[in-house]
Every structure is written in structure tokens, then in C-alpha cells.
């Protein structure tokens, strides 16, 4: 049998089962303990030890379940962290893309506005040129019309004077 200082004895104590306690036989001595009391106390120890072993097994099972759940939650936590990092990265990329697209749209809009402004200025210049041409034509027409009317008036005046002189001659000729 191993002594108390012996490492095997320590291992056996740690591996003590309720059955070991129940089956333990003590030597009898003349002035020893009352056997009935010892047996009753050993029965109490066995019952308490069995309860503690069951409780320990239940706790070990609970710990194993909790450790399993903990690992599961750690996995979920890691997945969530990765998802958050990915979501942040995606949001940053979307934001950057939106800024680039907005800059492009702004640049295109400004170029389009400049083009339209140039077209409008060219159209305005063309309209001014056309207006000047029409004004010049109108002035020329006015001058030409005045000249035509003046020459017509002169011809009428000459025609009336000449007609008046011929009429007088004919009247004189007829009177004579």
C-alpha cells in the first residue's frame, strides 16, 4: 500500500470514488471506533461524495457546453468584426466613388455650361450681325425709295409742266 507522501497515494485520493468509500474495510482494534457509527458516517460520506461527483459531472458538462457556446460566440464575434470591417471598407469605397462621380458630373456640367454660354454668345453675335444687315438694307431701301420717289416727283413735275406747255400751245393753235 502507498504511503501518504507517495505520489501514487495522492493520485488515488484524487481518483477516489463513492464505491471505494463504500467498500473500504477498516481493521478492528480493541479500543477502536463503534463500527455502526463508522458505517453510518461512511454511508453519509458516500451519499455526499456521490452527490458531489454528480454535481461535478453536471458542472463539467455545463462548462463544456458553455465553452462550446463561447467558441461559437467568439466565431460569431469574429464574423461580425469582419463584416463590420468589410461594411466600413465598402462604405468608404462607395463614399469615395460617389465623390469621384460627383466631381466628374460637376466637371461635365461646367463644361456643358461653358459650351452653352459660348453657343449663346455666338448666337447673340449672329443676331446682332443679322440685325445690322437688316438695318443696313432698310436704310438702303429708304434711301433708294426716297430717290425713286423724288425722281418720280420730278418727272411728274416736268410732265405736268411740259403737259401744261403743250396744252397751252394747242389751245393757242386752236384759237388761231
Where are the chain's structural domains? 12-93
Instruction: Print burial letters for 16-44: b (CB count within 10 Å at least 16), e (below 16).
Output: eebeebeeeeeeeeeeeeeeeeeeeebee
Q: Which of 18, 78, 3 is nearest to 53 (CA)?
A: 18
pLDDT of 168 above 70: yes
- Reported as a single tens digit per residue, the pLDDT across 3-47 is 445 545 443 345 777 777 777 777 777 777 778 888 888 888 888
Please tell me the distance from the alpha carbon of residue 120 to that of residue 33, in angstroms, as a whole number.
123
CB-CB contact of 31 with 19 (8 Å): no
* Mean predicted confidence (pLDDT) in 61-78: 95
Q: Quote the pLDDT of residue 22.
A: 75
Query: What's residue 37's pLDDT?
Result: 82
Q: Is residue 22 a contact partner of residue 49, using CB atoms and an 8 Å limit? A: no
Amino acid at each position: 500500500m502507498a504511503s501518504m507522501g507517495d505520489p501514487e497515494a495522492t493520485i488515488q485520493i484524487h481518483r477516489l470514488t463513492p464505491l471505494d468509500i463504500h467498500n473500504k474495510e477498516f481493521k478492528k482494534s480493541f479500543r477502536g471506533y463503534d463500527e455502526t457509527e463508522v458505517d453510518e458516517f461512511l454511508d453519509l460520506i458516500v451519499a455526499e461524495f456521490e452527490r458531489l461527483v454528480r454535481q461535478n459531472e453536471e458542472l463539467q458538462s455545463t462548462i463544456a457546453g458553455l465553452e462550446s457556446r463561447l467558441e461559437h460566440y467568439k466565431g460569431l464575434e469574429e464574423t461580425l468584426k469582419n463584416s463590420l470591417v468589410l461594411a466600413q471598407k465598402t462604405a468608404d469605397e462607395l463614399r469615395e466613388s460617389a465623390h469621384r462621380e460627383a466631381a466628374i458630373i460637376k466637371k461635365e456640367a461646367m463644361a456643358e455650361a461653358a459650351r452653352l454660354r459660348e453657343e449663346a454668345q455666338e448666337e447673340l453675335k449672329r443676331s446682332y450681325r443679322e440685325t445690322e444687315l437688316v438695318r443696313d438694307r432698310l436704310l438702303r431701301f429708304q434711301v433708294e425709295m426716297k430717290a425713286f420717289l423724288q425722281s418720280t416727283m420730278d418727272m411728274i413735275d416736268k410732265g405736268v409742266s411740259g403737259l401744261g406747255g403743250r396744252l397751252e400751245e394747242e389751245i393757242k393753235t386752236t384759237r388761231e
